[in-house]
Structure 1
Amino acid sequence: MKITRRITIGIAVLASASVALTGCGTAGGESGGSDDAVTWMAALHTPTTPEPGGTIETALEALSDTDLEFQWIPDASRDEKLSAALASNTLADIVTLPGGGITTVVRALTSGQFWDIEDYLDEFPNLSQIDPQIIEAAKINGHLYGVPAQKPKARYGVLVRQDWLDNLGLEVPHTIEDLSDVARAFTNDDPDGNGKNDTTGFYDRSESFDIGFRSLSGYFGAGSVFELTDDDDVVVSYGTDAFKDAMEWYRGLYEEGAVNGDFVTVQKQNQQDGVAQGKGGIVVTGLFEAKNYAALAASSNPDGPMSWALINDITYDDVPRRILSDTNGGMGGWYAVPKTQVKTEDELRKVLGVLDSLLTEEAFSLMTNGVEDTHFEFDEAGAVTILDQTLWEQEVQPFSSSRMSETIVTYPSTLEYVDEGNEKIAENDEYTVVNVAQSLTSETFDTRWTEVQQDIRDAYNKYIVGQLEMSDYESVIDKLRAGDLGKIEEEYTAAYAEVNG
């Protein structure tokens, strides 16, 4: 939702001398909080910790009608501190747990330490409106062990040099076939007009298998790492016909020089620099990156800044429009409630009420921008300007990683491509494809997936550059299926059947 009106936290809220303390009777418990407060073990991604009782904390307390005590966990020591707190039952009433399938987190959530909150969500006006697909993505083996931290579901797309398209008289591509033609033209037809054979189409990097090409494979119909067959078997997407069709297509472009030949060794910064220097004209990346590429190019070549077409609707053959999620289906983690701290359903409802009150525009603005006229101001178009960067970094920025959702408000921007990128990312929601195994558990996955995926990644790289043939790649998949990969697929299939039986 795009907001251009002002969101103002009233003076009475900020100056409130006393706040109704309606936290849990057991809140704090062994974690050392006061009997009245709701304690929150929150992630800290900044060098500084806000002062207790500061402006933002006080305003959040007023919005939630609760005394809040934040226990900040620096990101660098997150795993160690969370593991210690889980083992010693010294948790807070709310525990911020990261997403991404981290084994220790999944094991903790499925250990019985945290409340399954799904049946309570309908009692709250904001929690009940969480996107059902995000709810499903946040479940583990059919259980919702915390309020999901919400993110955009799919942020990726294809960035194509618009100025090069214009130079060559080409239209913006919206199909794989047209994208292929553009890649070839960018390679062979001197799109920058310098008379040299020094450009390519796709400018990829070493994470091709995990990021760039993976996103492209989705257009062919491949799933997001794991997918479901017609017989309800969970299988790895890397072995499907759609994924292999995409590999054959991409290798063909590579052989024609339409993919940079050194992509296997190119790191992200090298990719960004290469694109800014005009080495390639197509990048598969986050749609939010267009502004960064434009800024980088302008700083290195102010007389000839590049322009970009942002594309989020590439299709192939008769495959319906789709985009693979790069954010676990919009699920950025959990705000989990431990049973050791919050012991009754009434106490759980109080904690969920706090979280519900923070799933609002007012709370989002506080935790994103701060207090209007103190930390930021709106211009006439509704764009945000930070008034004091140092003050904002000290008092506001630490709270941004505790926002219930990143998508409550989208503020207009004065930077080129930001609004367009945000609009297209929002459009992606309708077409997002999520990893079907994300909400399932597999012991073999926990212990062996890193090695399995690396073997497949190596085979992919060797196939694209011509060191392996497709039969060799298939042999790698078959060999892995005879071992750990086969166990993973079997365990996920059994878990899916148990949840959906």
Structure 2
Amino acid sequence: MLRQRVVCMRRLKNHHLLFLSVNFFITILFSSCLQSNMFMPAQSSLKNETEPFPITIMTVSFTKNPATGDSPVVKAIEEFTGTQLNIQWVSNSSYEDQMNLILATGNLPDVMLITSKSYSVVNAARSGAFVEIGPRLQNYKNLRQMNRTVMNNLLIDNKLYGIPRMRPLGRYGAVYRKDWLINTGLSEPKTIEDFYDMLKAFTYGDPDNNTLNDTYGLILTSSPVSLDIIQTWFGVPNAWGENEAGELIPAHLTQEYIESLKFLRKLYEEKLVNRDFWLYDPALFNDPFVNGQGGCIVDVLDRANTLSSRMERLGVNAEIGLFGTVSGKKGLRSLSTSGYNGFYVISGNSTKSEYEIDRILQFMDKLNEREVQDLLYHGIEGRHYIIRNGVVVRQTAEGVSESERNDLSMLLTFIPKDFTTPVETNELRRKIAEIQSENEKILVSNPAESFTSEIYYEKGNFLDGLINNARIKFIIGEIDETEFQDIIEIWLENGGREYIREINRLYRENKR
């Protein structure tokens, strides 16, 4: 076992912030952070790499009691990486707001989780708030093996600032009630028509054998992801696609987009989906499935693990099935994710030396060693788990709190891959991994993912809102195809044409 160090951690004050305006709120937060050093980067004049190097990290938490500096797991990570960590946890519910406030003050921690390439993030990168790490990666054995597709997706003005929290590119698919499918006498869908037949049988074929008309096929929410995945099966591009002239056009200008909308409208008209889906909270996505109301979810495949665990706890007798995609006119296609879920940046303040940047990158590189990945994901062997037949079995020792390892997995980046000791698994988990691997052979990527569009940052919310609202209105029958095309014209006339020209200019420049 790694020897443990006693690390004195400054305890942070909780600041109750009362604000009357955004500017006032930022001022109060900034003052509070300065007084408590909450987000002050760790300064060090250390030149001896054998001494612990202090690093302040701001990242997200999903539990009420994330791991503290006194945690034996944190101490073990510090021992392995030669660091002294000050992890500032921010609740997921408020992380986006806190991140933007910190970016506004310019008082960044050494390492900070960024959730997306938003306008504020792009501006921060351009103003020198982050260290450009692209040219430096070759010096670090794990980081230099970063997936090139994901790296490209992360670029801002063709520069790399972030270390991604890697996720499978082929993560999307369908989760369905396999026991319902068996009850209706159908086989797993292979085509779009098969998919429709399954949803219809789940709605009108009494799949739960209770003789009541109390089920429906497809569960949708206000999140657009499910619709995007299904539309990809019809041949719709991932946001942008090439036309016959080799130019990029937005997905909603393709004929396949209209064809897919007509299919989705048919599902709605025949009541094969929940009636108020555009208002339905994504946080409640699982409820109709678990409660035996809806029979299929099109989303990330690993949602099946959550569904299975919850149904098992509730004593729901159900069998879950999975598939990655179904065949349409253009064959098998799978919508690609960006390949990451947020990314870590290193603050680029003028006081940070090359030595300090190197030590931080050494730390980020070491987080991808198998020993540290195991600590972050599993905890400490004999304390939080045991190894049986070569796999991890969760087993917290008596008197040990789970909070010792809470949320530490948020530091995992999995570059070049997941090296963690495998957990005790089941057929469902094996199936998810198998389908994700198959999906990667048929991915539909966004060719404009890495482009930084000025017009989009200025008008993107308006342009996206027009199309998203038009899509919903068409599906639920509030507008027809002619009216949908009228909205497309409004989109083009209010920044859309300029947006297309800008994206194609960037596309041509990127090809040089």
TM range (shorter): 0.7 to 0.9
The equivalent residue for 1:332 is: 342
Matched, 1:14 2:3: yes
The question of whether the paired residues in 2 share the 8 Å contact of 1:147 and 1:335 is answered with: yes
The equivalent residue for 2:456 is: 445
Matches within 5 A, 1:229-308: 229=243, 231=245, 233-268=247-282, 271-297=285-311, 302=316, 305-308=317-320
Change (3 A) 1:248 1:68: same
The equivalent residue for 2:322 is: 310
Matched, 1:342 2:352: yes
**SS of equivalent to 1:482:** helix
The equivalent residue for 1:136 is: 152
The equivalent residue for 1:365 is: 374
Change (3 A) 1:181 1:80: closer
| Aligned mates of 2:398, 2:248 — CA distance in 1 | 48
**SS of equivalent to 2:449:** coil
Q: Residue type of the partner of 1:292?
A: T
The equivalent residue for 1:404 is: 413
Q: Residue type of the partner of 1:333?
A: F
The equivalent residue for 1:5 is: none
Gaps of at least 5 residues in structure 1 are 1-10, 19-27
| Aligned mates of 2:87, 2:411 — CA distance in 1 | 12
Q: Residue type of the partner of 2:134?
A: E
Matches within 5 A, 1:32-47: 32-36=42-46, 37-45=53-61, 46-47=63-64
Q: Residue type of the partner of 1:62?
A: E
User: C-alpha offsets along residues 75-131 of structure 1, whole Å, 9 cap, x if unaligned?
Assistant: 4665566556556654444x2232322221122123334333222323322112221
Matched, 1:484 2:495: yes
| Aligned mates of 2:280, 2:66 — CA distance in 1 | 36
Q: Residue type of the partner of 1:248?
A: K
Change (3 A) 1:394 1:291: closer
The question of whether the paired residues in 2 share the 8 Å contact of 1:367 and 1:397 is answered with: no
Q: Residue type of the partner of 2:345?
A: Y
The normalised TM-score by structure 1 is 0.83
Change (3 A) 1:166 1:51: closer
The question of whether the paired residues in 2 share the 8 Å contact of 1:146 and 1:337 is answered with: no
- Kindly state the Cα deviation for residue 415 of structure 1 after the two structures are TM-superposed: 6.3
- Kindly state the Cα deviation for residue 279 of structure 1 after the two structures are TM-superposed: 2.6
The normalised TM-score by structure 2 is 0.82
The question of whether the paired residues in 2 share the 8 Å contact of 1:375 and 1:386 is answered with: yes
Change (3 A) 1:147 1:286: closer
The question of whether the paired residues in 1 share the 8 Å contact of 2:231 and 2:257 is answered with: yes
The question of whether the paired residues in 2 share the 8 Å contact of 1:226 and 1:235 is answered with: yes
The equivalent residue for 1:189 is: 205
Q: Percent identity?
A: 25
The equivalent residue for 1:31 is: 41
Q: Residue type of the partner of 1:428?
A: N
The equivalent residue for 1:497 is: 508
- Kindly state the Cα deviation for residue 233 of structure 1 after the two structures are TM-superposed: 3.9
**SS of equivalent to 2:484:** helix
The question of whether the paired residues in 1 share the 8 Å contact of 2:463 and 2:495 is answered with: yes
The equivalent residue for 2:191 is: 175
Change (3 A) 1:384 1:29: closer
Q: Residue type of the partner of 1:361?
A: R
Change (3 A) 1:488 1:382: same
**SS of equivalent to 1:261:** coil
- Kindly state the Cα deviation for residue 310 of structure 1 after the two structures are TM-superposed: 0.6
| Aligned mates of 2:314, 2:131 — CA distance in 1 | 53
- Kindly state the Cα deviation for residue 312 of structure 1 after the two structures are TM-superposed: 0.9
The question of whether the paired residues in 1 share the 8 Å contact of 2:173 and 2:324 is answered with: yes
| Aligned mates of 1:184, 1:78 — CA distance in 2 | 41
**SS of equivalent to 1:484:** helix
Q: 2:141 aligns with which of 115, 122, 125?
A: 125
User: C-alpha offsets along residues 441-469 of structure 1, whole Å, 9 cap, x if unaligned?
Assistant: 22332233223222222211221122211
Q: 1:100 aligns with which of 91, 116, 119?
A: 116
**SS of equivalent to 2:164:** strand
The question of whether the paired residues in 2 share the 8 Å contact of 1:227 and 1:436 is answered with: yes
Change (3 A) 1:394 1:163: closer
Q: Residue type of the partner of 1:293?
A: L
| Aligned mates of 2:69, 2:215 — CA distance in 1 | 55
Q: 1:158 aligns with which of 169, 174, 186?
A: 174
The question of whether the paired residues in 2 share the 8 Å contact of 1:141 and 1:499 is answered with: no
The question of whether the paired residues in 2 share the 8 Å contact of 1:149 and 1:403 is answered with: yes
The question of whether the paired residues in 2 share the 8 Å contact of 1:329 and 1:432 is answered with: no
The equivalent residue for 2:225 is: 211
- Kindly state the Cα deviation for residue 228 of structure 1 after the two structures are TM-superposed: 4.3
Q: 2:239 aligns with which of 225, 240, 243?
A: 225
Q: Residue type of the partner of 2:389?
A: E
Greater shift in the superposed pair: 419-428 or 82-91:
82-91
| Aligned mates of 1:279, 1:115 — CA distance in 2 | 50
Change (3 A) 1:388 1:221: farther
- Kindly state the Cα deviation for residue 144 of structure 1 after the two structures are TM-superposed: 0.8
User: C-alpha offsets along residues 366-411 of structure 1, whole Å, 9 cap, x if unaligned?
Assistant: 1112111122223436133140599554322242212222851463
User: C-alpha offsets along residues 206-256 of structure 1, whole Å, 9 cap, x if unaligned?
Assistant: 33xx12111111112222333444545443223322222211122223333
